[in-house]
Amino acid sequence: MSAAIGLTQDWSVACAQALAHFQRSLSSPAACPVVASDMSDAECMRRYSQGDAQAFRILYARYRERLHRYALRLAERTPEAEELFQDVWMAVVNGRERYEPHAPFAAWLFGIAHRRAADRWRALGRHAPDALRKREDDDVFEHQATLPVHAPEHQVQNEALGKALLDAVKALPMPQREAFLMKAEGDLSLEDIAAATGTTRETVKSRLRYAQRRLREALEPWR
Amino acid sequence: MSEEAMEDLLQLYRQSAREAPAAQVDARILHAAIAQSKRQRSRSLPWPLAAAASVLLWASLHGISHEMQGAAGELVPGYGAGRIRAQLLQMDVKPPSSEVARYLMGNALVPHNDHKEISP
């Protein structure tokens, strides 16, 4: 009898472990072994355009979090960000044969995200990411709204600093924010950001310089 | 723009920003991507299939026609003889051009009279 109970318990534990493993693999594709693949992004795209679904899984696992955070910080609300995120991946799926491997995949991906975001916000009647370019080039950004100030004594130092930075990023003017996010999330070069946003390298450099100055000002109370 | 200062900011940002998309969103995108690749594979599959089917069709038709010829030879009386006659009719039947050739061919076909005289 006791042996039977022990066997049943072992079986339940094994089932629970298998279920937990299955749920983990479903809920976090980033934890899948596909991320550790040596295959380059261009090779993944080439294979996916020939019908290899596993190659897409690898790419998706590599870029899902980065693109999601980019969309999250560009959009005003989370549902908008999720729509943009899905929209961009569907554009990758449908346009896989248009990808040309001479450009980095990340630049292509964030370029699609930039255009989709611009189209979406133009349709909604808001400022598109490149709408403030002229004003920014004239240094008008100095007169824009001030950044939120946080009280450091009420929060744990590191977490507060991180949160302050995220808030400051969200408060950046759109072109600077986008340039900073492409650098931070996509790890793109100045040239790649320029290509993705349809502007010049010098403009991108200038946007990043302004973004850096604003972010450092926002973090000044913690220094 | 100071490179070190920017690197510090980027590092702090990457440590702090940890959001990830919801599992349902992942599932929806992966499902769509996989469905698309399956559709593509099924579109590209008919070419080899069609080629294989053509070869199979040709081979079976070729085999059937041979069998029919064999069966016709066995079942129709005089089929074989008729076929040989048709082949012979297609052969070159021009008479030999030179005297010597005519003589030799005549010698080969008809036994010579001199032969009879010598043999007894």
Report the CATH number that the domain containing residue A213 is assigned in CATH: 1.10.10.10
Q: State residue B60's pLDDT score.
A: 84
Total structural domains in chain A? 2
What predicted TM-score, i.e. pTM, was given to this entire model?
0.63
Tell which residue, A142, A67, A57, has the closest CA to residue B32: A57
Confidence of residue A6 (pLDDT cuts 50, 70, 90): low
Asked if residue B113 has pLDDT above 70, the reply is no
- Distance set, CA A213 to CA A183, A185, B41, B67 (Å): 15, 19, 51, 90
Report the pLDDT averaged over residues A124-146: 46
- pLDDT per residue over B36-56, tens digit each? 888 877 766 666 777 888 888
The CA distances from residue A105 to A101, A109, A137, in Å, are 7, 6, 29
Task: Report, as an integer, the average pLDDT of B22-27.
Answer: 94
Q: Which pLDDT belongs to residue B77? A: 73
A165 within domain boundaries: yes
Does the distance separating the beta carbons of B26 and A60 come in below 8 Å? yes
**What ipTM does the predicted assembly reach?**
0.72
Residue A39, in any domain of the structure: no
Calculate what percentage of chain A has a pLDDT beyond 90: 57
Report the alpha-carbon distance of residue A162 to residue B8 in Å, rounded.
Answer: 12
A168, part of any domain: yes
pLDDT for res A34: 56
In a domain, A217, yes or no: yes
Q: Do A64 and B5 touch (CB under 8 A)?
A: no
Q: Is residue A222 part of a domain?
A: yes
Q: Do B29 and A86 touch (CB under 8 A)?
A: yes
> Cα(B6)–Cα(A183) distance, rounded to whole angstroms?
10
pLDDT in tens, A158-192: 888 999 999 999 999 999 999 999 999 999 999 99
Shortest Cα distance, chain A CAs vs residue B19, angstroms: 6
CA B103, B109, B110, B115 torsion: positive or negative? positive
Domain boundaries, position A10: 1-30
**Which residue among A51, A68, A72 places its CB closest to the CB of B40?**
A51
Is residue A72 one of the residues assigned to a domain? no
Nearest to A93 among B9, B15, B33 (CB): B33
**Is residue A55 in a domain?**
no
Distance from CA of B52 to the nearest CA of A (A): 21
In a domain, A79, yes or no: no
